[in-house]
Amino acid sequence: MSAPLASLSGYRRIVIKIGSALLVDRASGLKKPWLDAICDDIAALRQKGVEVLVVSSGAIALGRTVLNLSPGALKLEESQAAAAVGQIALARHWSESLARSEIVAGQILLTLGDTEERRRYLNARATIKQLLSLGSVPIINENDTVATTEIRYGDNDRLAARVATMCGADLLILLSDIDGLYTAPPHLDPQAEFLPVIDEITPQIEAMAGGAASELSRGGMRTKIDAGKIATSAGCAMIITSGKPMNPLKGIDNGARHSWFAPSATPVTARKTWIAGQLQPAGTLVVDQGAETALRSGKSLLPAGVQDVSGQFHRGDTISVVGLSGREIARGLAGYDAEEARRIAGHKSREIEALLGYAGRAAMIHRDDLVMTETAGKTGGSNQRDEAHA
């Protein structure tokens, strides 16, 4: 079992996600002293040879302050306008603050398609790697001015996890307004216990994440745990800690409270990481217990074990596989279009030719294109840090 490193400088490449509420004050706008302090932390890491990428929220929050928009939920076009105004200011502040340490910032604005379509994903990855090799710190956000509801990440927690896996980071840090994961939302349950080390994101751990989100931040604990699943399954550790104090990265090294999520001991290949991290699978297959057991032992998914097919997908699209309990257990690339999948579901592979009129492939999802997204779920979180060191 891996354990947290003694210092952040032990990591090679770190993605830091910063929530809007940390950077932007509703009344006064950008919190410049806080930004300068985190840029000092980033400069210190860079000096120790750690590559740093920042996923910065705050465009919409900053823009709405500048534009003096009324409090409460914004309409899509209002938040897009706010982002247009806020992002330009946000990027300038980052660039100026990092320049104090002679670090060059590079802005990257992503839309969902940039990580969900394989070709665009490879392209975005190449740009990010180039920026890093030139010694720049990428400042990344969702391209909120063009993203519409159907094609947006919507929260920067999962975007940051996608960025972390895309660039092969070994640590993702989510700076939040809460210092880590508790057994229950601490503001609702006084008995809630803090979890410093999470060895594996089991269904029990997922259940601990409440859904709450503040007005300035889109993601609650739920999206942070989703981010953790994406990151850890790709072999990237994750830390959740409070970004409220000044110099929160230095704070982690000095023992500030945080939850550390262990990277998977058997990370899947880069291609499977991409499959598992897809944010919007195009369809769902419900499989029986026999098929679920076969998948868990590394076999392909055959049509015989499929009980139900939903969604409109084409061969090669990512689809979700759920067990009879309704929980997702795997994801994979469809071997058939949805229509064909419906026709052959529940049938033996040798019947495929008669059903479709041609000899198709034997598997609904081939095992090379399949990745388990949920473990059988035996272990819970450990709240004994020492255990992880043992």
Contact residues: ligand GLU, CB under 6 A: 19-20, 57-61, 83, 141-142, 144, 155-156, 217-219
| Closest to 331 (Cα-Cα) out of 378, 366, 303, 293 | 366
**Residue among 57 and 202 whose Cβ is closer to ligand GLU:** 57
**Residue among 161 and 294 whose Cβ is closer to ligand GLU:** 161
Report yes or no: 8 and 16 within 8 Å, Cβ to Cβ: no
To ligand GLU, the closest distance from the beta carbon of 25 in angstroms equals 14
**Residue among 61 and 364 whose Cβ is closer to ligand GLU:** 61
**Residue among 109 and 167 whose Cβ is closer to ligand GLU:** 109
**Residue among 65 and 264 whose Cβ is closer to ligand GLU:** 65
To ligand GLU, the closest distance from the beta carbon of 318 in angstroms equals 23
Distance CA 33, CA 40 (A): 11
Report yes or no: 315 and 361 within 8 Å, Cβ to Cβ: no
Q: Strand runs (DSSP E) across the chain, as ranges?
A: 13-18, 24-25, 29-30, 51-56, 105-110, 137-142, 171-176, 181-182, 194-195, 197-198, 237-242, 258-261, 283-287, 306-311, 318-322, 328-333, 370-372
Q: DSSP letter for 260, please.
A: E
To ligand GLU, the closest distance from the beta carbon of 112 in angstroms equals 12
Q: What DSSP string describes 98-126? A: HHTTT--EEEEEE-HHHHHSHHHHHHHHH
Dihedral of the alpha carbons of 209, 214, 219, 224, in degrees to the nearest 10: -40
To ligand GLU, the closest distance from the beta carbon of 214 in angstroms equals 10
Q: What DSSP string describes 51-90? A: EEEEEE--HHHHHHHHTTPPSSPPPHHHHHHHHHHHHHHH
**Residue among 58 and 323 whose Cβ is closer to ligand GLU:** 58
Residue 178 burial (CB count, 10 A)? 22
To ligand GLU, the closest distance from the beta carbon of 144 in angstroms equals 5
To ligand GLU, the closest distance from the beta carbon of 219 in angstroms equals 5
Report yes or no: 283 and 310 within 8 Å, Cβ to Cβ: yes
**Residue among 147 and 364 whose Cβ is closer to ligand GLU:** 147
Residue 72 burial (CB count, 10 A)? 6
**Residue among 60 and 85 whose Cβ is closer to ligand GLU:** 60
To ligand GLU, the closest distance from the beta carbon of 223 in angstroms equals 8
Report yes or no: 225 and 162 within 8 Å, Cβ to Cβ: no
To ligand GLU, the closest distance from the beta carbon of 167 in angstroms equals 19
**Residue among 114 and 155 whose Cβ is closer to ligand GLU:** 155
Which tokens is 162 given?
A: 């996608």
To ligand GLU, the closest distance from the beta carbon of 233 in angstroms equals 21
Query: What distances in angstroms separate CA 190 from CA 184, 193, 221, 256, 267, one per listed residue?
Result: 9, 9, 17, 21, 36
